[in-house]
């Protein structure tokens, strides 16, 4: 193999060194037991072309800009060439899907090249999604289409810049091949452009990683997986000697040594805490994952597996972006905290095999609920400009949710523009009050800054209008009680309420443009999403509410898991 610049990537493959491999190295579909992964190589594509690279991720990995558009970059990150030091593999895991145990799942079209050391000395797994079939592909072809790959690339980076824990995306590479998909599962398959996205994360361990060996009674493998997860994702739950991974006689193989039962309980508590923080952030920005199966939840607290996700534009707690979920709405926006706790319960049911005392696991589940509710209360107080939570806040928040569902309101624009609404110090008694400078505040003064948030302004009359006005006056009184300096209040609100999110119709416009040979919109949108909390003059169209043409268009409203 000819040496190239990318062969200097500093691979240090702890996962494959520490955990047992599938002894069968042939690439055929099968049940795999007693192993954490199968070694499998990506399948070459016909004409790889790099469409986009995330600068921050490339810098983290030490890949200079001059390499981004080289043929070798496209070859490596499409799966057409395996770089020196890599150890390609697909992980095996199980999971509950839509509430039902699905048995063995695994990386059916995601092939990890291996782990590299980043600029900060940390470890990052490089995973190619759409790089060909694996032993876990079931009946699929192991490929991915441009549609889903671009959406994952953009959303990974959008979430990271929103400050929400997530896997990252290094690159988006077109394969030059066509992939046949039935986008709506309605019996109309059609060819689409193929693509590969390189996902990057310190860990891709999932709840289902631990569920699968537990379901098979494989306590040895379960213990080794937990030992590895604790030492690589959460060494702080161990005693000092065990947590010190820099010890000179510590080998990669030692990373999977079983840990004491009490450490299992502490780790589960930490997973619960991370999950609560993650879900609170999703609720803050209006992100709906769409397919919160246990195999799509990360023990390191990252947003993982961007499939039929969506951004809550119209405020509707019952909305789900997933066509497969349309009947039951199990994964709707408002149910995400409860689903996350149910998924944690399934993880606890697996971990109980490693401890004689289930109480710490039960305590973790209870702590999740307490932590989430506290985080939600604090988050809402901050994003509404109130400062710290106070008694009675939940009533005002509940009233807000009622008025937001009284007509069609873009929640992104509403929360962002709320910072510009004048404060009525007169309270919630109705009529005109005074602002902080003693000027009269009319109903129109309160509503004018929010006009862009209403999809049907003609509905803002009568009881609907009065409901918003009454709430805004109560909100203003609560702002006054919070005592924040007005400039500080607006700044803090704008730091939590983004101006720009990845609206589905914008992603679809970028997909259409790239498919037509023009990646400029993708690059522009990516750049805007790198500064989601900033006002960006000239980029206002990327913050606009969903246009009417996108209301029911495929890819702009609900989506399927087809990719």
Number of domains comprising the chain: 3
413 within a domain of the structure (yes/no): yes
| Assigned domain for 256 exists | no
What is residue 251's predicted lDDT score, i.e. its pLDDT?
Answer: 86
In terms of domains, do 425 and 519 share one? no
Q: Taking the C-alpha atoms of 444, 449, 451 and 454 in order, what is their torsion angle to the nearest 10 degrees?
A: -110
Q: Where are the alpha helices (DSSP H) in 384-425?
A: 393-404, 411-418
Give the pairing type, strands 123-129 and 190-201.
antiparallel
Scanning 52-203, the segments in alpha helix (DSSP H) are 55-61, 71-76, 146-161
Q: Classify residue 95: in a domain, yes or no.
A: yes
Cα angle value 101/106/108 (rounded, 5°): 120
pTM: 0.94
The pLDDT of residue 201: 98
424 and 508 belong to one structural domain: no
* CB distance 125 to 154 below 8 Å: no
Strands 168-181 and 123-129: unpaired
532 and 456 belong to one structural domain: no
Helix (H) or strand (E) holding 174: strand 168-181
Assess if residue 214 is contained within a domain.
no
Catalytic residue of the set 295, 417, 428, 435: 295
Is there a single domain that holds both residue 455 and residue 538? no
| Domain-embedded: residue 255 | no
Q: Which of 31, 183, 155 is nearest to 93 (CA)?
A: 31
What secondary structure letter does DSSP report for 21? B
Query: Is residue 140 domain-shared with residue 19, that is, in the same domain?
Result: yes
| 136 lies in some domain | yes
pLDDT of residue 23: 97
**Contact between residue 157 and residue 54 where contact means Cβ atoms under 8 Å apart:** yes
Last residue of a domain, one of 204, 235, 263: 204
Give dist(CA 246, CA 234) in Å, integer. 15
Closest by Cα among 209, 366, 235 to 293: 209
Residue that terminates a domain, selected from 161, 183, 204: 204
For 485, the 3-state DSSP assignment is coil
Q: Is 295 tagged catalytic?
A: yes
User: pLDDT at position 188, please?
Assistant: 76
Is residue 31 assigned to a domain?
A: yes
Domain containing residue 413: 406-483
- pLDDT tens string for the chain (563 positions)? 345 789 989 999 999 999 999 999 999 999 999 999 999 999 999 999 999 999 999 999 999 999 999 999 999 999 999 999 999 999 999 999 999 999 999 999 999 999 999 999 999 999 999 999 999 998 878 999 999 999 999 999 999 999 999 999 999 999 999 999 877 666 778 899 999 999 999 999 999 999 999 999 999 999 999 999 999 999 999 986 555 544 445 688 899 999 999 999 999 999 999 999 999 999 999 999 999 999 999 999 999 999 999 999 899 999 999 988 888 999 999 999 999 999 999 999 999 999 988 999 999 999 999 999 999 999 999 999 999 999 999 999 999 999 999 999 999 999 999 999 999 766 544 444 655 555 689 999 999 999 999 999 999 999 999 999 999 999 999 999 999 999 999 999 999 999 999 999 999 999 999 999 999 999 999 999 999 999 999 999 999 999 988 887 877 766 766 55
What is the rounded end-to-end Cα distance, in angstroms, of the chain? Answer: 33
Answer yes or no: do 9 and 132 share one domain: yes
At CA 405, angle to CA 399 and CA 411, rounded to 5?
Answer: 95
User: Are residue 520 and residue 472 in the same domain, yes or no?
Assistant: no
Q: How far apart are CA 454 and CA 407, in angstroms?
A: 8
Q: Where is the domain boundary, 204, 223, 255?
A: 204
The rounded radius of gyration (Å) of the Cα atoms in the chain is 25
- Give residue 247's pLDDT: 43
**Residue the block writes with tokens 């980076």:** 157
107 and 176 share one domain = yes
Q: Check whether residue 119 and residue 11 sit in a common domain.
A: yes
pLDDT score, position 430: 44
- Domain co-membership, 412 together with 545: no
Which pLDDT score is estimated for 194?
A: 96
Residue 79: the pLDDT is 97
Under 8 Å CB-to-CB from 489, ≥6 apart: which residues? 385, 387, 419, 479, 482
- Per-residue pLDDT at 549: 87
24 with 112, same domain: the answer is yes
Based on the fold, state whether residues 449 and 519 are members of the same structural domain. Answer: no
Q: Cβ contacts of residue 67 below 8 Å, gap of 6+?
A: 5, 6, 73
Residue 370 placed within a domain: no
């Amino acid at each position: 193999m000819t040496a190239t610049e990318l062969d200097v990537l500093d691979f240090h493959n702890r996962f494959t060194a520490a955990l047992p491999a599938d002894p069968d190295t042939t690439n055929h579909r099968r049940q795999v037991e007693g192993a954490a992964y199968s070694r499998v190589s990506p399948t070459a594509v016909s004409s790889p072309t790099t469409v986009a690279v995330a600068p921050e991720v490339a810098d983290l990995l030490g890949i200079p800009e001059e390499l981004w558009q080289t043929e070798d970059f496209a070859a490596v990150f499409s799966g057409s060439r395996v770089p020196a030091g890599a150890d390609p593999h697909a992980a095996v895991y199980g999971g509950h899907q839509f509430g039902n145990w699905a048995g063995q799942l695994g990386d059916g079209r995601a092939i990890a090249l291996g782990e590299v050391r980043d600029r900060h000395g940390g470890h990052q797994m490089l995973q190619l999604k759409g790089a060909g079939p694996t032993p876990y592909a079931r009946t699929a072809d192991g490929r991915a289409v441009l549609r889903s790959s671009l959406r994952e690339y953009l959303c990974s980076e959008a979430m990271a810049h929103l400050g929400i824990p997530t896997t990252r995306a290094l690159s988006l590479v077109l394969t030059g091949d066509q992939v046949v998909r039935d986008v709506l599962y309605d019996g109309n398959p059609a060819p689409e452009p193929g693509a590969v996205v390189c996902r990057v994360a310190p860990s891709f361990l999932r709840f289902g990683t631990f569920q699968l060996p537990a379901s098979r009674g494989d306590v040895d493998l379960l213990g080794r997986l937990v030992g590895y997860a604790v030492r690589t994702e959460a060494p702080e739950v161990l005693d000092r000697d065990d947590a010190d991974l820099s010890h000179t006689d510590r080998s990669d193989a030692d990373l999977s040594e079983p840990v004491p039962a009490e450490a299992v309980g502490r780790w589960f508590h930490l997973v619960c805490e991370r999950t609560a923080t993650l879900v609170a952030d999703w609720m803050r920005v209006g992100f709906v994952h769409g397919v919160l199966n246990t195999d799509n939840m990360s023990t390191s607290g990252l947003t993982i597996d961007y499939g039929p996700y969506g951004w809550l534009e119209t405020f509707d707690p019952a909305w789900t972006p997933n066509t497969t979920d349309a009947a039951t709405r199990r994964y709707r926006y408002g149910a995400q905290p409860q689903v996350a706790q149910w998924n944690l319960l399934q993880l606890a049911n697996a971990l109980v095999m490693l401890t004689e005392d289930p109480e710490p696991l039960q305590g973790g589940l209870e702590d999740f609920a307490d932590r989430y509710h506290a985080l939600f209360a604090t988050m809402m107080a901050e994003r509404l400009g109130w400062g710290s939570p106070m008694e009675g806040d939940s009533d005002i928040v509940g009233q807000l949710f009622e008025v937001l569902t009284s007509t069609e309101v873009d929640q992104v624009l509403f929360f962002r523009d709320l910072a510009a609404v004048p404060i009525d110090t007169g309270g919630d008694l109705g009529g005109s009050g005074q602002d902080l400078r003693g000027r009269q505040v009319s109903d129109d003064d309160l509503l004018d800054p929010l006009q862009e948030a209403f999809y049907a302004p003609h509905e803002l009359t009568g009881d609907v209008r009065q409901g918003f006005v009454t709430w805004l006056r109560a909100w203003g009184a609560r702002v006054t009680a919070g005592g924040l300096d007005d400039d500080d209040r607006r700044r803090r609100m704008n730091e939590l309420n983004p101006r720009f999110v990845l609206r589905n119709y914008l992603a679809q416009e970028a997909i259409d443009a790239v498919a037509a040979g023009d990646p400029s919109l993708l690059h522009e949108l990516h750049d805007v999403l790198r500064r989601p909390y900033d006002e960006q003059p000239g980029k206002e169209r990327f913050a606009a509410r969903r246009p009417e043409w996108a209301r029911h268009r495929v890819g702009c409203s609900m989506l399927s898991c087809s990719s």
